[in-house]
Amino acid sequence: MAPDISAPPAPLRLRIDRQALVGNWRALDRLSPGARAGAAVKANAYGTGARIVTAALAEAGCQDFFVAHWQEAAEIVDLAAPDAIAVLHGPATAADAQWARSHGVRPVINSLHQARLWHEAGGGPCHLMVDTGINRLGVPMADLGDPVLAGLDIDILLSHLASADEADSPLNAAQQRRWTEARGQMTCLRASLANSAGIVLGAAYHGQVTRPGLALYGGVPCAALAPYICPVVQPQAMILQVRALKPGDSVGYNATFHATRPMRVGVVSVGYADGYLRTWSGRGSARFDGVALPVLGRISMDMTVIDLGSSAAREGDWVSIDYDLPAAAVASGLSQYELLTLLGTRWTRE
Ligand SMILES: *Cc1c(COP(=O)(O)O)cnc(C)c1O
């Protein structure tokens, strides 16, 4: 345990627009009129802060939260009803199953082995993941008749789409068909198939619960969702120092940028250790008073140098990093999922 000494706030912060987050959830909820939208809050709510997001969405009326790990369930268990939290990886050990039982958190059962672990721990309400074609976690269709599954008390029968962001992929309809078939074979209270992009594939994909993640946080996985989704995340960092460059001066590791004229530059407190990867070297930009300030040279671990141009920005001022997810994905070659989940632990999320 680290000593409990409070320190001054970090010179970098992640602004989370709570209203936009809740607005996105409501929009996704409305897009599936027969179903309720849940929320995928795994991986620290895609890097945005699981506690902030869970509290905001629970207050807005969200009733189903999906995490990957048991640790992630523990982190939010005081903010949502324990039985509203589903752990997607399921019980890998008897201890996992026991923990779920004692805290009332719902496991997602992904295999016959996990079903046995759950029975041995005493069982109770759970969810069942069926693999319909992504070949990731989930019970194969061929195993659905196994007696060990017949004894499960299944709340949500889930499956997960491989290509929901490609509306014309034949895999979508094939998976939807198998999911419908699985629902016919198993007894369950509710069914769920759609992630963010799956929601706009239509009512046949909705069941009773949808599981958006990316779109909650401002990601736009497919064009059909674009009109409904607002940006949520705005990274900001402090200017630690302002420097004057002379023509011929270089900037940063390996001197990849050379000034050809006198320049005012700012050293900003964000680097690849914060998830602002080297792919942004010479390519990213920040903003002060709406004016774009291009990144110069290499991104360092904890710092980035930007061209202050004729802006009035000074030491101690905060700049906003250009991080519009769809555009940033195109510019960086990273996926919108990676751009979010990369954001590390040094940010103050507010
Ligand atoms: C991550 C995840 C989701 C959310 O997917 P998005 O594409 O981010 O909307 C839904 N369901 C499962 C099983 C997941 O693992």
Question: Percent of the chain scored above 90 by pLDDT?
Answer: 97
pLDDT of residue 3: 79
Burial class (CB in 10 A: 0-12, 13-18, 19+), 36: middle
Beta strands in the chain (DSSP E): 12-16, 36-37, 39-40, 65-67, 85-87, 106-109, 125-131, 139-140, 153-158, 190-192, 209-210, 233-245, 250-251, 257-258, 263-268, 285-288, 291-296, 304-307, 318-321, 348-349
pLDDT greater than 80 at residue 2? no
pLDDT greater than 70 at residue 16? yes
Query: What is the Cα–Cα distance from 221 to 165, expressed in whole angstroms?
Result: 6
- pTM score of the predicted model: 0.96
Question: Each residue of 35-84: pLDDT tens digit?
Answer: 999 999 999 999 999 999 999 999 999 999 999 999 999 999 999 999 99
- Residues within a 6 A CB radius of ligand 1: 40, 42, 88, 160, 195-196, 211-215, 221
Q: What does pLDDT average to over the chain?
A: 97
Q: Which tokens belong to 6?
A: 């409070």
Query: What is the Cα–Cα distance from 221 to 214, expressed in whole angstroms?
Result: 7
Q: Ligand 1 mean position to 258 CA, how many Å?
A: 44
Q: Which tokens belong to 272?
A: 């690849």
| For the CA of 42, the nearest atom of ligand 1 | 1
Q: Which tokens belong to 304?
A: 């980035």
Q: Which residues contact 71 (CB under 8 A, 6 or more apart)?
A: none
Q: Which of 289, 278, 252 is nearest to 267 (CA)?
A: 252
- Where do the H-state alpha helices sit in 48-136? 50-60, 70-76, 94-103, 112-120
pLDDT of residue 5: 87
Ligand 1, from 127, 160, 220: best to mutate by most atoms within 8 Å of Cβ? 160
Question: Each residue of 150-180: pLDDT tens digit?
Answer: 999 999 999 999 999 999 999 999 999 999 9
The SS3 of residue 151 is coil
Query: What is the Cα–Cα distance from 55 to 32, expressed in whole angstroms?
Result: 22
For residues 283-311, average pLDDT: 97
pLDDT of residue 4: 81
For residues 304-317, average pLDDT: 97
Q: Which tokens belong to 325?
A: 């997810």
The SS3 of residue 54 is helix
Q: Band the pLDDT of 315: cuts 50, 70, 90.
A: very high
